[in-house]
Structure 1
Amino acid sequence: MRLSEQDITNAICVNVAQRRMVKPTDVDVSMMWDEDYGFSAEIYVGGRSQILVQATILEAIEQYMYQQFDMRVFRDQIHLVLDEEIVADIEQG
């Protein structure tokens, strides 16, 4: 299974909204990839920005897969890939 960058962004919005007790539409996400640091995301909530590391992105995807698809997915099954966009390949197991 493959999640698009939009799916990953949605997962992050929902995850951050639940943690900060705001609406998912109140969260803006910008996905990033850097040769030295790998995958990350910059989020904007209430006028403040924060950088999320890859582990936090993977956690958001795990929860999104469970909430949206009723699939229990573990971090070692999720592989972020830089294609034409950032995507998440999820191993079925």
Structure 2
Amino acid sequence: MEKITLSEQEIIDAVCLFHAKFKHVNPEDVEVELMYDDASGFTAEAYVNGEMEPYNTVNFITAIRLYIEEQLHRDAMAARIVLDLHDEEGIIANIDW
């Protein structure tokens, strides 16, 4: 079984790419803030032109699957994705096939 870990920056990139695709803007125009709390889990806020859209854990996984497919050129649907809060690295995604 192959395993990879996406860094917090790669997750931010994934959310930027995902958000940009559906808002029809450049990924560079999207700002993303990742967050975690015990009540709501992994969340994010994506900003474009002053407008904020919230992301929940399901949105994270969807954005990461798109990133796996389009940037890593791997089978995103076969990937098992687990988000984790790491003390030093922040929010990371452990992925295995």
With normalisation by structure 2, the TM-score equals 0.90
- 2:54 is matched with 51
- Counterparts of 2:67 and 2:18 in 1: how far apart (Å)? 8
- Alpha carbons of 1:6 and 1:38: their partners in 2 closer, same or farther (altered >3 Å)? same
Quote how far apart the aligned CAs of 1:73 are.
2.3
Between the two proteins, the alignment pairs up a number of residues equal to: 92
- Counterparts of 2:80 and 2:17 in 1: how far apart (Å)? 21
Asked if residue 91 in structure 1 is aligned to residue 96 in structure 2, the reply is yes
* 1:81–1:88 Cα contact (<8 Å) kept: yes
Secondary structure in structure 2 of the residue aligned to 1:86: strand
Gap regions ≥5 residues in structure 1: none
Shift >3 Å, 4+ stretches: none
* 1:1-93 correspondence runs (5 A): 1-74=4-77, 77-83=80-86, 84=88, 85-92=90-97
Gap regions ≥5 residues in structure 2: none
Quote how far apart the aligned CAs of 1:8 are.
0.3
Percent identity for Structure 1 against Structure 2 = 36
* 1:28–1:43 Cα contact (<8 Å) kept: yes
- Counterparts of 1:9 and 1:46 in 2: how far apart (Å)? 18
Name the Cα RMSD after superposition: 1.3
Residue identity opposite 1:23 in structure 2: N
* 1:59–1:75 Cα contact (<8 Å) kept: no
Quote how far apart the aligned CAs of 1:91 are.
1.2
